[in-house]
Amino acid sequence: MESITLTADLDALARISAFVTEAAELAGLDERATWQVQLAVDEAATNVIQHAYDRDEPGDLTLTWQCEDNQFVLELRDYGRQFDPQNVPPPDISSPLEERQVGGLGLYLITRLMDEVRFDFNPQGGNVLTMIKYITPGSRDDVVVIPVTGRVDAVTAPQLTRDVHERIALGARFVLLEFGGVNFLSSSGLRALLLIRKELMTLGGELRLALLQPQVFEVFTLTGFVQVFSIHPTLEEAQHAFGQGRMHS
């Protein structure tokens, strides 16, 4: 268990960020999970700084971290005014921007970015916010990465299908198509990808795509297939996501 105690003012945020980044690396979190934890802790610390103490008499805040049973556990403690999350209304994230009421967004982000969030208070122990991020397993060693380049259309899609089928015949079940070199995708290419995805799912496997160029990603957006395919901005994120459910960028 490691901790840092700082005066609850805005100058503390940079040191808190560095502390969290080092802790997340030591805990083995990937880049995306580290960013999520950084943002959640920053939001929580900012709330303490702005609301727990009087501005001309800032108290202390203490941030502690440890790993327990594949969980990265952070505890933020302050001795300021009692905080009750039930008194914070949920933010309006659906109305037009000019009509939204200010407030509640920080707490909303914390609860969405972390896997578990708990608030506790007692007169002796102060306010304690516990935030937990699950430590996911590292990249699978059975993911087959297939680079794809050029056009994926009526002419080239059959060859892509054959290439993937050859890998499946050799036992591949977790296939990652690296689309960084693809500059054109047609409906024929989409149909081929759908069939590949269906075959892998039937076998208990997964198909994921990574590094899509903007014009290719737009085809998925226009057709609504971003809700069907697992699309990732980096190969690292895609490899870590196998077995963790569907995700898209």
Same-domain pairing of 79 and 123: yes
Phi/psi of residue 179, each to 5°?
A: -95, 15
Same-domain pairing of 151 and 67: no
> CA nearest 135: which of 231, 233, 25, 51?
25
The residue type of 103 is G
Q: Please give the tally of structural domains in the chain.
A: 2
Same-domain pairing of 107 and 178: no
Same-domain pairing of 128 and 175: no
Per-residue confidence band for 239, with pLDDT thresholds at 50, 70 and 90: confident
Burial of residue 9 (CB within 10 Å: 0-12, 13-18, 19+) is: middle
Task: Give the highest mean pLDDT range of 33-37, 47-51, 105-109, 176-180.
Answer: 176-180
Share of the chain above pLDDT 70, in %: 88
* Alpha carbons 210 and 249: distance in angstroms, whole number: 9
Same-domain pairing of 75 and 19: yes
**Angle formed at CA 215 by CA 214 and CA 218, multiple of 5 degrees:** 85
pLDDT digits (tens, 9 = 90+) for 22-51: 999 888 887 888 999 999 999 999 999 999
Same-domain pairing of 28 and 113: yes
**Domain's final residue, options 134, 164, 192:** 134
Of the two residues 138 and 99, the one the predictor is more confident about is: 138
Per-residue confidence band for 160, with pLDDT thresholds at 50, 70 and 90: very high
Same-domain pairing of 152 and 99: no
37 Rama sector, left if φ>0, alpha if ψ -120 to 50, beta otherwise: alpha
In this predicted structure, the answer to whether residue 248 has a pLDDT above a threshold of 50 is no
Same-domain pairing of 18 and 106: yes
Same-domain pairing of 14 and 58: yes
Same-domain pairing of 184 and 110: no
Same-domain pairing of 123 and 73: yes
Per-residue confidence band for 94, with pLDDT thresholds at 50, 70 and 90: low
Same-domain pairing of 85 and 149: no
Residue 162 lies in a domain: yes
The CATH code of the domain that includes 229 is: 3.30.750.24
Contact (CB, 8 A) for 85 and 119: yes
Residue 249 lies in a domain: no
Over residues 153-180, mean pLDDT:
95
**Angle formed at CA 226 by CA 221 and CA 232, multiple of 5 degrees:** 110
Residue 159 lies in a domain: yes
pLDDT at 92: 52
Residue-number span of the structural domain to which 160 is assigned = 143-241
Q: Name 131's Cβ contacts closer than 8 Å, sequence gap at least 6.
A: 37, 40, 41, 44, 73, 74, 75, 76, 110, 114, 116, 117
Indicate the DSSP class of residue 59.
-
Report in angstroms the alpha-carbon separations of 185 from 39, 113, 154, 195, 208.
35, 33, 9, 15, 16
Structure tokens at 47: 């709330």
Residue 32 lies in a domain: yes
Residue 246 lies in a domain: no
For the residues of 63-80, what is the DSSP string, one character each?
EEEEE-SSEEEEEEEE-S
pLDDT at 139: 56
pLDDT at 241: 83
**Domain's final residue, options 107, 134, 161:** 134
Share of the chain above pLDDT 90, in %: 66
**Domain's final residue, options 90, 114, 134:** 134
Over residues 67-72, mean pLDDT:
89
Query: What's the whole-model pTM score?
Result: 0.55
The whole-chain average pLDDT of the chain stands at: 88
The CATH code of the domain that includes 81 is: 3.30.565.10
